[in-house]
Amino acid sequence: MLLFTPGPTPTPEAIRVAMSVPTIHHRTPEFEEIFKAVREKLIRIMNMPEVLMLASSGTGAMEAAVTNLCKSHALTINAGKFGERFGKICKSFGIVYTELKYSWDTPAAVSDIVDVIKTNPSIDVLCIQICESAGGLRHNVEEIAKAVKDINKDIMIIADGITAVGVEKIDTAHIDVLITGSQKAFMLPPGLAMIGLSESAVLRIENSSKGFYFNLASELKNQRKNTTAYTAATTLIIGLKAMLEVIDNIGFDKFYDDAKNRAKAANTALEAIGLKIYPKTPSYAMSTVYNEHSKEIRAIAKKKYDVNIAGGQDELKDKLFRINNMGLIAPYEMAWVLNAVELSLDELGIRDYDGTANRVFVSKIFKGMQ
Ligand SMILES: *Cc1c(COP(=O)(O)O)cnc(C)c1O
C-alpha cells in the first residue's frame, strides 16, 4: 500500500533502520552529541537562530508557542481546521483572541490583517499557518508578517509550518516562531515537534515564560546545553538526524525544487483529467481536489490500486481528496497515484481511462514539457 496522506508520511527504510538501535539514555555524552548535531542541522533547515525540540505532536508546539509568547491578545487566522485550532488553544487557556475567518479555499488578505491590528493595539501575537492543510492552502505569510512588523515590530509572528518546513524554502525574515512536526515532510513517525525561534522570541520567552511541561524558558536553558528539560524523544531524534543527513546530501535547493516540480506536474495532470484543484493558492505540500465523488475515488484507489490518499475534514470530509507531496517521493510512485485516480474515475463512469494523467505528469517531470 502506498501511503500518500499529507501526514503521516511513510518513513523510508534507511530511516527505519537508523532508528532500530537499542534505546540509549538521554543524559549521556553519546546522546548529547546526537542532539547537538540535530540542533545545528535544524537551525540551518529552519533558517532560524534558535530551535527547540519537544516530545509531542505538532499541536503541542502550537500550544507552547501561544502560551509562552502571548501576553495580552492573539490574532488567529482560521482558513481551516488547523487555523481554527489556534483559536481553540487560546480559548482553553482563557487568552483573549480575535479570529479572522476565511473560506477553506481562500488565503488571508494582508489588508484584513492590517485593519485588525490597527484597530486592536493590544494584539501581541499573530498565529497563522504557512500551509493550511485542511484545504492545501498557502497563505502569503511572508508578506503578512512584513506588513504586521511594519506596524508594530513587537507583535510576534507565530507561523505553523508543519506542512511547509522541508517542503519549500521559507523566508523567515519576519517570522518569530516557526513550528514543525516529525510526521510530515521529515517522514518520521509522529511524536516530535520542533520550534524555530527568532532573537526577539527568545528574549520574550526568557523574560516571561509560562507553563510547566511546555515551559520554553526551561527548554531553552537545557537545549542550549544539548539536553532537554524532560526525557527526550531519543529514537525520533536519532531518526531525524538520519533524515536531515539524507536531505543535506541531496541538497536543500534540489530537495525543494523536486517538491515544487512534482506538485506542479501533479496538479496539471489532475486538471488534465477534468479535476478541480480546490485552493485558490495551492501549497506544494499536497494536491487538493474538490470532487463530489471524492469518497468513492479514495475507496477505489485504496481497494483496487493500493493507494491511500486522504479525504477532507468536517463538511468537506467527503468532498475533498488530498494527495501528499511532502518528503522524498519517487516520481514513479506519484505517477502510480495519479493513474489510480484516473482509473477510479473510469470505474465510476466519470471519464474513460486513456492514461492522460500519467502522460501529463511524466512529460512534465522528465521531458520538461509545460
Ligand atoms: C498536521 C498538522 C498539525 C499538527 O498536527 P498534530 O496531529 O498535532 O501533529 C498542525 N498544523 C498543520 C498545518 C498540520 O498539517
150 with 32, same domain?
Answer: yes
The CATH number linked to 298 is 3.90.1150.10
* Whole-angstrom distance, CA of residue 240 vs CA of residue 251: 16
Q: What is the pLDDT of residue 209?
A: 84
In a domain? residue 5: no
Tell me how far the alpha carbon of residue 63 lies from the centroid of ligand 1, in angstroms.
12
260 and 364 within one domain: yes
Query: Which helix (H) or strand (E) is 144 found in, with range?
Result: helix 141-151
Quote the cell numbers at residue 272: 488534465
Tell me, yes or no, whether 105 and 27 share the same domain.
Answer: yes
Mean pLDDT of the chain, nearest integer: 97
Q: Ligand 1 mean position to 77 CA, how many Å? A: 15
Do residues 228 and 336 both lie within one domain? no
Task: Tell me how far the alpha carbon of residue 284 lies from the centroid of ligand 1, in angstroms.
Answer: 16
Q: Kindly state whether residue 341 falls inside one of the protein's structural domains.
A: yes
CB 294 near ligand 1, within 6 Å: no
Does residue 7 lie within any of the structural domains? Answer: no
* Residue to mutate (ligand 1; options 138, 163, 325; most atoms within 8 A of CB): 163
Together in a domain, 184 and 257:
no
Measure 5 CA to ligand 1 centroid, in angstroms. 13
Confidence band for 224, pLDDT divided at 50, 70 and 90: very high
Same domain, 106 and 186: yes
Q: Are residues 108 and 210 in the same domain?
A: yes
pLDDT value of position 308 = 98
- Boundary-marking domain end, from 196, 216, 249: 249
What are the backbone angles phi and psi of residue 138, rounded to the nearest 5°?
-100, 115
What pLDDT sits at residue 370? 64
CB distance 57 to ligand 1 below 6 Å: yes
Residue 183 lies in a domain: yes
- Per the domain annotation, does 317 fall within a domain? yes
Distances (CA, A) of 56 to 62, 186, 194, 226: 10, 15, 9, 18
For residues 208 and 29, which has the higher predicted lDDT (pLDDT)?
A: 29
Q: Give residue-wise pLDDT tens across range 145-194.
A: 999 999 999 999 999 999 999 999 999 999 999 999 999 999 999 999 99
Per-residue pLDDT reduced to its tens digit, 87-102: 999 999 999 999 999 9
Same domain, 103 and 224: yes
Asked if 237 and 264 sit in the same domain, the reply is no
Q: Does residue 290 sit within a domain? A: yes
53, 133, 165, 177: residue to mutate for ligand 1 pocket, most atoms within 8 A of CB: 133
What's the CA gap between 77 and 98, in Å, rounded? Answer: 9
Grid cell for residue 196: 524555530
Quick one: 295 and 156 in the same domain?
no
Domain end call among 249, 283, 312: 249
pLDDT at 369 over 80: no
- The answer to whether residues 73 and 178 belong to one domain is yes
Pairing of strands 125-129, 74-78: parallel
pLDDT tens for each residue of 231-240: 999 999 999 9
What domain range is 320 assigned to? Answer: 251-368
68, pLDDT greater than 90: yes
Q: Which among 231, 249, 267 is the end of a domain?
A: 249
Distance 358 CA to ligand 1 centre (A): 30
| DSSP state string for 197-226 | E-HHHHHHHHHS---STT-HHHHHHHHTTT
Q: How confident is the model at residue 208 (pLDDT cuts 50, 70, 90)?
A: confident
Q: What is the pLDDT of residues 240-299, one digit of tens each?
A: 999 999 999 999 999 999 999 999 999 999 999 999 999 999 999 999 999 999 999 999
* Residue 306 domain-assigned (yes or no): yes
- The residue among 9, 7, 15, 63 whose CA lies nearest residue 195 is 63
Domain-embedded: residue 1: no
Whichever domain contains 198, its CATH number is 3.40.640.10
Looking at the structure, tell me whether residues 191 and 264 fall in a common domain: no
**pLDDT tens digits, residue range 186-205?**
999 999 999 999 999 999 99
Say how many domains are in the chain: 2
For residue 121, name the pLDDT band (cuts at 50, 70, 90): very high
